[in-house]
Amino acid sequence: MSRIDILAKLDQADEIFSLPETLLEVLQEVESDDWSSKSMAAIINRDSGLAAGVLRMANSSYYNRGSRISTVNRAVVVLGASMVKCLALSAAIFNPIDEIKRKLNFDIRSLYTHYLSTAVAARQLAEKCGFARTEEAFTAGLMHDLGMMYIIRVAPEEYVDLLGRYEAGEDLVKMERELFDTDHAEVGYLISRRWKLPAGIQNAIGNHHRLTSYDNFGTHEKLDQIVALANLINRHIFSSSGCYVEENIQQVANLRRVLDLDQDAITEINDKNLQETFRAAEQIGMEIGDPMTLLEKANRQIMRSYQTVESLFKERQELSRQIIEEGHKLGAMESKNIAVATLSHYINNAASAISGRIQIVEMLLKNDMIVDKQGKLTPALEVIDTSLKKILAVLAELKSLTSLDGVKFHNGSSTINIDENISQRIKTMKKVIC
């Protein structure tokens, strides 16, 4: 398919997304010079589903800071015209696409989970870096892949194929440009302009893949940076292939620095983001992936991380052998530190993934959302928790390898006896657990 095949239909975006007549009236009303919350509420009230969605969002913890809001008129006042427009559009755009699931065997809820988790992370990032318009950050995060939703409707078979290849590790934007001569960020920006969304949200949608180096951050607004970072730290929600890890780490580090955030802030968001995403999904009535599916995906991600760790260990051992043979101790030190930093990143991500899923399952058990008739789930969670502590023991050992001075070598050889050191840490940790 060429560029014209995708972009030529932008004028039909309303029909392609099947926007209801009520929503089209809302979009027109917002652009009117004499619109009012009363007239807006009168339009919304004609669509019971839209009215319920607006009230639900206005009463969610993301917007409501006071007493319960019981009328659409009051909800419009609280949310503001721009947010009502964006949320109304979201309700229409993020409906389950049963036809795609039935015909193409593709469950779009995994994408919805990524969109909502990006929105939740964007709001948290906004709070941490002092961006006052936190609700705008949430909405921009929710709408950041608007172009993806458009392309999957215009070319479903081709795009589902691209998503499968993306899951396997290929570059999605590169594939989009090769096939369509455009990408989902550009398409989303053009649609957001057509619908006259707030300028900040338009730019965040268009730029969320374009902030690739520290040098060009000065040309972008803070909301662009927030949404781009939220998207990066939630990339694993849909694609857990483990590819492009080094590039992803560098981009996260660059955006974190320009937003003046430390690594602890990113870790805190990662630790609670998935649980917050499920809470947000319930509050705004958005159907996303179920916890068990995400747990299975996390397990696959962890396995891929371990395979990568094993490969990196072998590469490090070979590199260390070559360096020692050449007598370059300084080079050995540098290569080891680079390897340790990379391995620490993988293990920390795996530990965070496990910890987050444990919290979700515990929450579901506590709220009787999971039936554990045989009583096997709680012991299983304890085993997972113990395994997590073992992973953290490995991470602690890796972080301790900051200098070759004082390191014990195995049987007088050039091999660092990592196995013995980790075994000792795990023994100590078992004593603490018991």
Model confidence pTM above 0.95:
no
Within a domain: 306:
yes
Please count the CA atoms within 13 angstroms of the CA of 39 that sit on its side-chain side: 13
Looking at 284, 307, 338, the residue that finishes a domain is 284
Both 185 and 297 in a single domain?
Answer: no
Backbone angles phi, psi at 233, to 5 degrees: -75, -10
Q: Which residue has the higher pLDDT, 79 or 303?
A: 79
Residue 176 in tokens: 């989009």
Both 268 and 344 in a single domain?
Answer: no
Both 245 and 100 in a single domain?
Answer: yes
Residues of 270-279 as b/e, b for ≥16 C-beta within 10 angstroms? Answer: bebbbbbbbb
Both 263 and 321 in a single domain?
Answer: no
Both 102 and 158 in a single domain?
Answer: yes
Q: Is the pLDDT of residue 272 over 90?
A: no
Within a domain: 149:
yes
Ramachandran region of residue 66, left (φ > 0), alpha (ψ -120 to 50) or beta?
Answer: beta
Nearest alpha-carbon partner for 5 in 219, 159, 108: 159
Both 260 and 319 in a single domain?
Answer: no
Name the average pLDDT for the chain.
78
Here the contacts of 60-68 (C-beta below 8 Å, separation 24 or greater) are 60/280, 60/283, 60/284, 61/279, 61/283, 62/123, 62/135, 62/138, 62/280, 62/283, 62/284, 63/135
Q: Is the pLDDT of residue 3 over 80?
A: no
Both 256 and 330 in a single domain?
Answer: no
Within a domain: 139:
yes
Q: What is the CATH number of the domain that holds 179?
A: 1.10.3210.10
Work out the angle between the directed axes of helices 134-143 and 222-233 (0-180°, nearest 10): 50
Q: Helices H, strands E: what count in the chain?
A: 22, 0
Within a domain: 60:
no
Q: What is the pLDDT of residue 305?
A: 56
Tens digit of each residue's pLDDT (9 = 90 or more) over 376-421: 888 888 888 778 777 777 777 766 765 545 555 555 554 556 667 7
Both 339 and 279 in a single domain?
Answer: no
Looking at 264, 284, 304, the residue that finishes a domain is 284
With cut-offs at 50, 70 and 90, classify the pLDDT of residue 323. Answer: low
Residue 38 in tokens: 């009363």
Both 327 and 236 in a single domain?
Answer: no
- In the chain, % of residues over pLDDT 70: 74
Both 228 and 102 in a single domain?
Answer: yes
Domain count, the chain: 2
Domain that holds residue 144: 3-9+94-284
Looking at 257, 284, 311, the residue that finishes a domain is 284
Residue with tokens 């195995």: 410
Give the range among 204-208, 303-307, 319-323, 363-367 with minimum mean pLDDT: 303-307
Within a domain: 255:
yes
Both 255 and 306 in a single domain?
Answer: no
Both 257 and 328 in a single domain?
Answer: no
Q: What is the pLDDT of residue 216?
A: 62
With cut-offs at 50, 70 and 90, classify the pLDDT of residue 434. Answer: very low
Within a domain: 341:
yes
